[in-house]
Chains A and B, each alone.
Chain A
Amino acid sequence: MISIRNLKFAYSDNSVIFDNFNLEIEAGSLFGLIGPNGAGKSTLISLITGLNSVMSGCIKVDGKELSSSRDELLSQLSSVPQEYAFYPKLTVLQNLNFFCRLYKNIQHPELNIYKAVELTGLTGYQHRAAGKLSGGLKRRLNLAIGLLNKPTLLILDEPTVGIDPQSRHFILAAIKQLNKEGTTILYTSHYMEEIEGLCDTIAVIDHGKIVLSGELDKLLLSSTDNNKFYIKTQRSIAKSEIAACEFKEQLNTQNNKIEGELNNAEQLTELLALLAQSGHIIEQVEFGKQSLESMYFDLTDKAVRE
């Protein structure tokens, strides 16, 4: 779907962002692009959407070069910015009508608007001023506008920032549904859990370079830290409940999660038994598989960025 070859790009202050950058995103994939602030994610999106022009190299979408087929490609893709990119003074319907009618190739705008409203759960809110919607509804409207041209490639830049868990769940479900229906999705987020639960392929980008990329499951399993474990229970775990554990120093407890590195599988069995004795119901257990977050920190270091 997207093929980036030998990309070179620098801003006008000569700060080089990409030099000989390459990336492939398969059609139909749900691709997670992650990296710290200033890593180059937004610049990459601006290059794919034609906001910025490449200095050398090429970007192809569906086999067509962006520089020569810009208008054609832009009618097939859609970019949902992180900000609420709509007019707060217009109603939901006025916003949808306006953005939908900017696409010359849409034959039945009403139909596209209806489908976008339905998928994002905005039915019943069409006549409300967009600026007066709750944070979750604003995010859904932001997404709905991105769906108006029924894009084959949907670029989502942190689409769940600052909203409640219910709205986040709704949006993530809608994204999964879109992907099932064949839409290729390029997804950026700082929520590693989101990426881990949603994406099939990822690329970790830092300082304008890809430091890791591939199918997510394979990447997590191929980690060398294969004695790392992760347990999630239904309720919070008190430290006193694992005080009897001989290797308690190796455990890191936070609310209803406990993770760390064990010496062997027997220690995991012992820990699970201890939790069961305290009446905990185990929701999730992972062993020998690194979390995306820890892998991410290993690759990009934990130091705070700008």
Chain B
Amino acid sequence: MIKLLLNILNKEFTLVLKDIHALLVLFIMPMAFILVMSLALPDTEKNEEKDRPKIGLIFQQAQDSQLAGSQALTQLAGFRTQKYSNKNKLRENIINDQLIAMIVVPENFIHLLQKNEPIDNNMEVYYSPSTPSQLRFLLMASVRQVTALWQLEKKLKSKVSDSFMQQGLKDKFLGVSLVNEHEISIGEEKVEAKQPSSVQQSVPAWLIFSMFFVVIPLSTTFIVEKQHGTLQRLKTMPIADGYFIFGKIIPYIIINLIQTLLMFLVGMYLVPAVGGQALQLSDNAWLLIPMSLSISILAISVAMLIAVRVNTTDQATTIGGVTNLLLAVVGGVMVPTYVMPEVMKNISAYSPMNWGLEGFLTILLREGSFVDIIPEMLKLLALSAVCLMFATISYKHLLRD
């Protein structure tokens, strides 16, 4: 059985390797897109106010926002701030408004501070889980700078109190004890607070796009088999149909995995070599393998279904190409979902390419775990099962009528 399968795999690999045009589509096209888009996107995004990380600000006592000192909080360097009236929907606000954090100023906080009276509650900072540690550090540094300034201003106006001295000049001065930090939970919803960088967007997006292009070599081989009577010959041999279907899937899974490896290497080494930002991988990089496998299985299943149903390579190229383009346009490959209007974002959620892209971004951007990518993988594999089932049924009935 193994020998038989190896024989079929050997034939499929030999045919694919002889198909230069297909290899160009599968490897050169995404490489070119990644390079061009990774270099092109940062220029349009640089230094724009709207692209600064956004934070939320809640004054639990409304009058506090009118105090002179509170202005400093609304103008934290390098951040955009948006005010909210209360913390009842703190988590939802962080997720929906794509905030990196929410600062909650307790009642009387500024007032007590300015009066140099003991503070009942500290300021709270709630982070989105996707906020990287560098940004958290920057935000805290800015907040502490503000609180330190408040205190310094007060101390200069009055004598240094005993209580201030007892609690330690350094801590008080830096305002460490005035702020508590928290991280909100993801729960079952996705947090999309952070936008991907150009290279983080381009590499997975164009990789997925190119993975779906296996439809061209796969259907070409299959249609040649149909048209030349080779399929008729194969079907009159004492071998189960499953061998041929399995024999077609495995080589393209390997090709898709090679594509994944190459495109990530392009993002990590080639893009920075030509002046772009390098793609960074963290400890969860191994998750790219199950995610790529899920995308690959779906891409091949869709390709198999198209290949079995159509009769000419022209039909396969047209139907396969148009399907891929539509899925890519809708799925956030060509236009990132974070720049799409709400309606398009909702439509995008139905594109399998978007499922794959979200899975990759969960790994690359949100430092997600295996559990976090399970929903995307399940959607991809479920659709694969449906496509493969229809493809197998069609294959069994081929040449019968």
Contacts and interface: CB of A to CB of B under 8 A. Distances in A.
Contacts of A86: 228, 230, 233
A104 B4 contact: yes
A183 interface: no
Interface string B216-247: 00000000110111101111111100000000
Contacts of B4: 101-102, 104
Q: Which 8 A-B pairs have the closest CB atoms?
A: A83-B229, A81-B229, A85-B229, A74-B238, A85-B233, A49-B236, A71-B238, A101-B7
Interface string A31-62: 00000000000000010011110000000000
Contacts of B237: 74, 99, 102-103
B238 A82 contact: no
Interface stretch (A88-96, A173-181, A212-220, A289-297): A88-96
Nearest to B236: A49
A52 B399 CA distance: 8
A102 B6 CA distance: 10
Contacts of B224: 87-88
B196 to A, nearest CB: 40
A70 interface: yes
A51 B7 contact: no
Interface in A113-127: none
A191 interface: no
A82 B236 CA distance: 14
Chain B at the A interface: SS class: helix
A85 B238 contact: no
B252 to A, nearest CB: 17
Nearest to A73: B238
A88 B15 CA distance: 10
A81 B233 contact: yes
Interface string A207-226: 00000000000000000000
A88 B10 CA distance: 16
Given A101-B3, A101-B4, A85 B11 contact: no
B139 to A, nearest CB: 60
Contacts of A185: none
Interface residues of A, number: 36
A102 B7 CA distance: 8
Interface of B: 3-4, 7-8, 10-11, 14-15, 18-19, 224-225, 227-230, 232-239, 399-401
A84 interface: yes
A103 B7 CA distance: 11
A132 to B, nearest CB: 13
A97 B10 CA distance: 11
A247 interface: no
B236 A87 contact: no
21 contacts: A12-B400, A12-B401, A50-B235, A51-B232, A51-B400, A52-B400, A74-B236, A77-B236, A79-B233, A84-B229, A85-B233, A86-B233, A87-B15, A88-B224, A89-B14, A89-B15, A90-B15, A98-B7, A99-B237, A101-B3, A102-B8
A40 to B, nearest CB: 14
B3 A11 contact: no
B401 A94 contact: no
Contact of A70 (B18, B238, B400, B401): B238
Nearest to A53: B400
B15 A85 contact: no
A233 interface: no
Contacts of A84: 228-229
A91 to B, nearest CB: 9
A94 B232 contact: no
A145 interface: yes
A43 B191 CA distance: 60
Given A87-B11, A87-B15, A104-B4, A51 B236 contact: yes
Nearest to A74: B238
A38 B227 CA distance: 19
A72 B229 CA distance: 22
A273 to B, nearest CB: 52
Find the residue from A78, A94, A102, A104 having the highest chain B CB count within 10 A.
A102
A72 B19 CA distance: 36
A75 interface: yes
A103 B229 CA distance: 18
A99 B8 CA distance: 9
Given A51-B235, A70-B238, A102-B239, A87 B399 contact: no
A62 B3 CA distance: 29
A185 to B, nearest CB: 16
A50 B236 contact: yes
Contacts of B19: 89
Nearest to A157: B229
